[in-house]
Amino acid sequence: MTAADIISSAIFYRVDGTHFAFGLEWMTAAANKQSIDQAKASAKKQQATHAAWRLAKAQVGLTRIDQEVPERSFIGPWRSAAAAFADLPYSSLLAAFKFRDGRIWILAATNGRIYAKGDRVFLNEEEARRYFDELFAQQYWNDIFAPADWQSRAKQIDPLAVLRRKRPDGRIAGLVEGIGAMVGLVSRPGAALKPLATDFRSIEKPKLIGAAAGLCVIAVGGLGYAKWHAAHAHKPQVLAPAPYYPSIADGGQTLALCVNALMGITARHQTPGWTLTEATCSGNKVVVSLAPDADTPVTTMMAFHPEAEMHSRKQAVIPAELAGPDPRALRLPLATEEDYQNAFAVADEHSNSTNVIGAALAPTGMAPSQDGRQRPRPYRVSPWSFGTTAPPLMWGPDLAAIRNLEVVSVTLAVSEHGLSWRINGNAYVAP
């Protein structure tokens, strides 16, 4: 595991008695057991210690809390500052705030959902300004908060004014309110950070004794059953063939690979008198289509690209090889069609897109056999397509969070109106 795979530590500030965390890593996690378990597995892989769950928005924020940072304040846990902002009624929000210690916090959220890399803290102002400009160029933002010299459309606001809530006067009143927050009677802004694992030493002794006794009972019962089975066992039964599940390439990796390949196509395939109209990435191949300008001879194309295939005098097709990601087995258990419908609805909110998901059908073709018998295929295949004029890699984190999603092709269309993308693939669902 490289250092880049490990989640970064958040920055913590106290605002009027409420403790806020800035700079979490956000990923998709819908309000179902399968999605939550997947988020926990990803958190463990990235060595995260705490998570801020926003299941109503199908999100979870991950971070590490080091030893020197207290896990809880006296009156409540640390809370996500980005979640506190995103819960406010902003349709699309881009913000950059400078703290007194010189750090700069950048936040990007759309329809209440925080971007995967939209909650970041920078030490260097130039680096923060560059990242802010990259986000600003990705879409039109309805609400922008930033220093006046960063962006002319930006408004200035004190972030503490958003995070601060009205508190009772007096020390006793504040203590009563703090106790109320601890037991859930008083709400505070932002999703609370919760530990992802329980320390083994914190388990109560009676529970350990009970667990040990249970294991003894299971062990004794297992020995008794083994003796009974040995005495009454019949001839071994012929087992049914094992189910067959195909191996597919990871959808998120395929999307990133194809988008990067297609964005580099234009420069390599510039040909005098010919205009790039479309490029498609499918499997391990990239196919580029070009159209000639008026009175452009075919020989011009052949001189620059002898590998081109001339389908007609009005179209030239140039194929190219591409190394694709290695296939891997489907992850079980399979999701339902409803799970995929909900996942695509989340993705639709994240970018300017149109999704079409077909009905799941039984797979076609013969499955491999085992001991001369055909293996069952306990899954269905649902074709889907995703069209967008936004940069498709913005949708990458949402795509990566959807289980068993296969990207079959990525097409980039070029016209006088700009670029448009069409991604086609398959979803493998439960029968």
Say whether pLDDT at 154 is over 70: yes
Is the pTM for the entire model greater than 0.75? Answer: no
pLDDT-derived band of residue 131, with 50, 70 and 90 as boundaries?
very high
**For 157-199, what is each residue's pLDDT tens digit?**
767 766 765 444 444 444 444 444 444 433 467 888 888 864 3
Structure tokens belonging to residue 371 = 């001991």
Spell out the residues 6+ positions from residue 413 whose beta carbon is closer than 8 angstroms to its own: 277, 278, 419, 420, 421, 422
Answer whether 84's CB lies under 8 Å from 25's CB.
Answer: no
Biggest alpha carbon–alpha carbon distance for the chain: 90
Structure tokens belonging to residue 123 = 């030490």
**For 204-248, what is each residue's pLDDT tens digit?**
344 444 444 554 544 555 566 556 555 655 555 667 888 888 888
| Selection from 47, 49, 40, 44 nearest residue 199 by Cα | 49
Rounded CA gap, 401 and 87, in Å? 22
**For 266-303, what is each residue's pLDDT tens digit?**
666 777 888 888 889 987 888 888 888 877 777 777 77
Burial class for 363, CB neighbours closer than 10 Å (0-12, 13-18, 19+): middle
Spell out the residues 6+ positions from residue 376 whose beta carbon is closer than 8 angstroms to its own: 240, 241, 243, 244, 367
**For 350-401, what is each residue's pLDDT tens digit?**
556 677 888 888 888 778 888 778 888 899 999 988 888 877 887 777 777 7
Rg (CA), the chain: 28
Please state, rounded to an integer, the average pLDDT across all residues of the chain.
77
Rounded CA gap, 429 and 287, in Å? 30
Angle at the Cα of 52 from the Cα atoms of 86 and 175, rounded to 5 degrees: 90
Q: Which of helix, strand or coil describes residue 185?
A: coil
Structure tokens belonging to residue 243 = 């189910």
pLDDT at residue number 202: 36
Rounded CA gap, 159 and 93, in Å? 13
